[in-house]
Amino acid sequence: MEYISAFIVGGLICVVAQILMDTTKLTPARILVAFVTIGAILGGFGWYDKLVEIGGAGATIPLPSFGNSLAKAAIEGVEKDGLLGAFTGGITGAAGGITAAIFFGYLMAIIFNPKTKQ
């Protein structure tokens, strides 16, 4: 049952993104930013954790989860370090994901021949 709920939750997130790309003039980059922002807002209110309970990996892998991680880490940073923690907490909490994205993006650029769209 966990696999089915993960598939449904993750699939619904992807379907929403695909509908936005097909029916609006939003670019994929703007949709990415919107999903991270929505995840941060839902995480800030504690609502994204409920989605993770239902969807498991289907909710922890897509982009809104990154926003949720940033929000949770920023909240913890504020509790620990005060106002300065609002700025440092999010980066500290998401450092692993940011580092992996940079590393694997660089690795793929070395392996493959990236070209700009024309």
Q: Which two tokens stand for residue 93?
A: 């909490």
User: Does residue 117 surpass a pLDDT of 70?
Assistant: no
In a domain, residue 87? The reply is yes
Q: How far apart are CA 40 and CA 70, in angstroms?
A: 7
Domain encompassing residue 24: 2-111
pTM: 0.78
In a domain, residue 27? The reply is yes
Please report, as a single letter, which amino acid is at residue 109. Answer: A
The total of structural domains in the chain comes to 1
In a domain, residue 117? The reply is no
Q: How far apart are CA 18 and CA 28, in angstroms?
A: 9
In a domain, residue 116? The reply is no
Summarised one tens digit per residue, pLDDT across range 11-67 is: 999 999 999 999 999 998 999 999 999 999 999 999 999 999 999 999 998 889 989
In a domain, residue 58? The reply is yes
